Copies of this chain bind each other. A is one copy, B any other.
Amino acid sequence: MSRSASIKDVANHARVAVGTVSNVLNYPDRVSQRTKDRVLQAIDELGFVRNDAARQLRAGHSRTIGLIVLDVGNPFFTSVVRAAEDAAALQGSAVLLGDSGHDAGRESNYIDLFQEQRVQGLLISPVGDVTERLDQLRERGVPTVLVDRLADEAKYSSVSVDDDAGGYLAARHLLDTGRRRLAFVGGPTSIRQVEDRLQGAQRAVAEVPDASLEILDSAGQTVLAGRGVGDQLVRRAAGELPDGVFCANDLLALGVMQSLTMLHTLRIPEDIALIGYDDIDFAVSAVVPLSSIRQPTEALGRTAIELLAEELDSDKPRHRAVIFTPELVVRQSTAGPEGSSAETRSGSSEEAAATAG
């Protein structure tokens, strides 16, 4: 009832030594069948469950990996988390999940907690400046992999997504389907992601002689901010309108779509093609299914675990920064004049453009 059975209880019950019970659990081959049966039966009868604390005290480290994300509610991270958990499970580790909620204090608390738990390694999508903490951890033999952030390869491994390439992909797609007067809708360019996506788009536009790119600053990254931009667009004279709009994320794109379709003066995609970024669940079920740029979240999570495993295996401090290329998901909102309606994906096939450090 109260105290749960220990390996010693099992040993007594099966009339063997504690070492033998341990061998049954960890090296079954070393134990004869007869003994093994007796021990297993005792385990079953007593309902013995290994005490992980004792185990990891002896081992010197746990079999868990810490993962700190900015926001578990964000589908991007949710997907990364799930992939990381699955990949970790394959190699016999469990993931301890922490949600910093963009709060440096919570982030720091989780690092403390994980350090006390002696996690094998840490995956983190940092909020504040944690380089000092991470350096300290590395010195103690706890490697870190940065997630969704490009790191200095001299110091850390990292997995990230090439936002410039994503921006290029989006703009290029609008150009490929015949649009020339493009517009970029995005929040403050102080956000790195927004900046990079814009830069990629500009790169694509520069490749086509008669193409132009207008920048429409949005007050944030929400549906409402998008609607604000959309409302401005519908008030313009026909000649002043863009014919292709690229939004820095899907929420903005959905807001723009709401404005344009609400008044029914402009049609998507005939008058204006629209493409977003992130490929959230809502994109496919928008009034006009939204084209978007999908980030390889599963690959991010999986690769982060793999990079961590690499660092754990070899004791040489060899770091790698793996950069993924996002992929284009074509739906109705950017259908060409001929209007093929099937959903299409193209672009990266989740292959890593890896570089060695």
Contacts and interface: CB of A to CB of B under 8 A. Distances in A.
Interface of A: 1-4, 47, 49-54, 56-57, 60, 62, 72-73, 75, 78-79, 81-82, 85, 89, 94, 96-97, 99, 101, 109, 112-113, 115-118, 136, 139-141, 222-224, 227, 255, 258, 261-262, 264, 282, 285, 287
A4 B255 CA distance: 52
Contacts of A78: 72-73
Nearest to A75: B73
A62 to B, nearest CB: 7
A279 to B, nearest CB: 14
19 contacts: A1-B139, A1-B141, A2-B140, A49-B112, A49-B116, A51-B116, A53-B54, A53-B62, A57-B57, A72-B72, A72-B81, A73-B75, A73-B78, A81-B99, A82-B99, A85-B99, A224-B285, A258-B287, A261-B262
Contacts of A227: 285
A56 to B, nearest CB: 5
B118 A51 contact: yes
A258 B72 CA distance: 28
A112 B50 CA distance: 10
Nearest to A261: B262
B49 A57 contact: no
A94 B113 contact: yes
Given A72-B72, A72-B78, A285 B47 contact: no
Contacts of A97: 97
Contact of A54 (B57, B136, B139, B262): B57
Given A52-B117, A72-B72, A99-B85, A285 B136 contact: no
A116 B2 CA distance: 16
Contacts of A101: 82
A315 B193 CA distance: 53
A118 B140 CA distance: 26
Contacts of A116: 49-52
A295 B136 CA distance: 43
Contact of A52 (B75, B118, B141): B118
A57 B51 contact: yes
Contacts of A81: 72, 99
A282 B282 contact: yes
A78 B78 CA distance: 10
Contacts of A4: 140-141
A285 B282 CA distance: 13
